[in-house]
């Protein structure tokens, strides 16, 4: 079909990185794009409303979105995100960094050409070369 880009469904981790933190009962999660094209896509597709829906079982307050185009970043501030804050929460891992990892699992439909241009697309952390899974890796150095 001419003019209509082929779309694929991917997790955000295929398109961008994340940094996250927390203070009290508020978390912030920032997506960092590797290119202006991916940043523009994130601005169009990853709204505060969609992020709030993604975290619906964890975040009790509003979600605010801020754009930092000079660093290709989209920041979300999640209010009521940590079950009352570190010492008050009964969650087993309630830190903002876990919410960052959760946002990277959010799925979007993206043009194949844009996804393919991302240096993150299809990449995974490398395993130690030559060592079977379950075998202890030798210590490096002396």
- Can you give the CATH number for the domain in which 67 is found? 3.30.70
Confidence of residue 24 (pLDDT cuts 50, 70, 90): confident
Adjacent-strand bridge partners of 19 = 30
The pTM is what? 0.80
Contact 114, 37 (CB under 8 A): yes
- The bridge status of strand 26-33 relative to strand 73-79 is antiparallel
Task: Identify whether 33 is part of a domain.
Answer: yes
* Number of domains, the chain: 1
Closest CA to 118 of 45, 36, 34, 43: 34
Query: Looking at the domain assignment, is residue 135 inside a domain?
Result: no
98-137 tens-digit pLDDT: 889 899 999 999 999 999 999 999 876 554 555 555 555 4
Could you report the per-residue pLDDT of 62-90, keeping only the tens digit for each? 999 999 999 999 999 999 887 665 555 54
């Amino acid at each position: 079909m001419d003019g209509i880009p082929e779309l694929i469904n991917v997790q955000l981790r295929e398109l961008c990185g994340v940094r996250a933190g927390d203070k009290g009962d508020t978390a912030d999660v920032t997506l960092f794009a590797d290119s202006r094209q991916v940043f523009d896509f994130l601005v169009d597709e990853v709204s505060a409303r969609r992020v709030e829906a993604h975290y619906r079982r964890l975040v009790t307050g509003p979600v605010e979105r801020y754009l930092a185009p000079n660093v290709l970043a989209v920041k979300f501030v999640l209010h009521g995100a940590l079950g009352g804050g570190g010492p008050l929460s009964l969650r087993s891992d309630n830190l903002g960094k876990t919410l960052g990892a959760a946002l990277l699992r959010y799925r979007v439909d993206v043009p194949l050409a844009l996804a393919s241009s991302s240096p993150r697309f299809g990449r995974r952390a490398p395993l130690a070369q030559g060592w079977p899974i379950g075998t202890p890796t030798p210590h490096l150095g002396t």
